[in-house]
Amino acid sequence: MARKVALDPGHGGRDPGAVGPGGIREAEVNLLIALELKPVLERAGFEVLLTRTGDRELGPTLATDLRRRSDMVNDWGADACVSIHCNASGTADPGRTANGIETYALPGGRAEALARHIHRFLVVFTGAKDRGVRTNKRFWMLRMTAPPAVLVECGYVTNAGECALLQEHSYRTKLALAMAAGIMTWTGEVTR
């Protein structure tokens, strides 16, 4: 049974990730969600590793950041990895209307199953637009991590309404509880 869950709050430090209205930085939102999720998973009996706990990149350079993250996850012997991100739309969406949650995994196997568990709860618990489970073979944290890994785009920081929600503690709690529920059902934890 999976016992060790690595949480990877995307970006940090010199890399703010997407930036929303009022200068809200994706990196900060990602970390707050991860810090909310960690104690929930611990209450469920999981060991939890965070790839970062502060607003910093895993240097010495930005180029090494992703490799440091995947090395941490693999060296620790994680049974699953969840990368936490928020999304942004660009010039193709001048009204910044794009919103909703999407969850990525490599196609097939246990990773895609984990994505489906997590994504289902995310959409049900938050009421956010369902942008689907998507497969991706290029994302570093999906390709280079040994355990099944997913990457969650928790919402669009470029969308005014969704950005406001992401700044609410109660909304981040919903996101965290949904991800925990997905991980628990994927591992069979709820049948114990």
Annotated active-site positions, please?
153
Instruction: Using DSSP, state whether 50 is helix, strand or coil.
Output: strand
Cα four-point dihedral sign 172, 146, 141, 66: positive
CB of 79 to Zn ion, least distance (A): 23
Instruction: Report 146-165 residues binding Zn ion (CB under 5 A).
Output: none
CB of 27 to Zn ion, least distance (A): 8
CB 73 within 8 A of CB 7: no
CB of 15 to Zn ion, least distance (A): 9
Any idea what the Cα angle at residue 28 is, between residues 25 and 31, rounded to 5°? 150
Q: Is 10 in the site for Zn ion (CB under 5 A)?
A: yes
Rounded CA separation 7/168 (Å): 21
Q: Is 17 in the site for Zn ion (CB under 5 A)?
A: yes
Q: Is 100 in the site for Zn ion (CB under 5 A)?
A: no
Judged by CB under 5 A, the residue of 85, 117, 131, 172 near Zn ion is: 85
Candidate segments 6-14, 57-65, 142-150, 184-192, binder of Zn ion by CB under 5 A: 6-14
In DSSP terms, 48 is beta-bridged to 5
Tokens of 63: 């180029």
Q: Is 9 in the site for Zn ion (CB under 5 A)?
A: no
Residues lying near Zn ion in the complex (CB under 5 A) are found at 10, 17, 85
